[in-house]
Structure 1
Amino acid sequence: MSRLLLISSYVAWPLVVGLVRARARIRRRFVVTSAAGWLGALVIATTGQPPEMALAVGLMVGVIASLSCWLATSDGVNFNWDEGKTYWPDDGPIPTGEKIAAALVALIGLLAVAARVST
């Protein structure tokens, strides 16, 4: 049962982000960081050993990396070669759609933790 839940979580992650984006405002920055985290999770899940553990660990690491990168870049992106300049600045508050999508992605990560603990 936990394997089916974990695989379903991998499918649900991009669907959640896509559905929330269709209904509410989500900045491209969130979609990119979420996609990068999801791809990282897939790499860990498909290459890690043992496979049962790799599914859960990949999902947890991907969600943590995705949300961490999103929070780090929520106000803009700074590069080392021009530290005084912020690229794609956004001084406004985080859109509600992004907060909802982030909460749902975090819930998916918590499902992975629960599935791992239950086995």
Structure 2
Amino acid sequence: MFKHIVQVDDIYYHLKKAQEYRISQVLALEAKLKNSEEAKGKHFQAMSVAYKHNQENLQVIAKLRKENQELQASHKNEVNEIQASHKSKVKQLCLLHKEELKSMEKKSRDSAIL
């Protein structure tokens, strides 16, 4: 009878230890789950901030592209104006040079006749 009582006490002790171990495992899993949920929350917050920064960067890029296009158009207009001005000046110089050549030829003919 005494041996039977000891065995029951041993079984009760082992069951109690197993129960405590399972409880500690459940508590550890709950803590792990809580940490996981906190990590998910932090990850979601980080992703939200990253998305917001990405949107801001896209807006800045769009603004810079627009400014770049405007500057390119302005530069193209300036280049066209300068080219047109140079063309006009070159034509004027060519006409002036032709007139000078004609004048010099006429003087040369006149002096050859004399």
TM-score tier by shorter-chain length is: under 0.3
Larger radius of gyration: 2
Higher strand fraction (1 or 2): 1
TM normalised by structure 2 equals 0.24
TM normalised by structure 1 equals 0.23
Higher helix fraction (1 or 2): 2
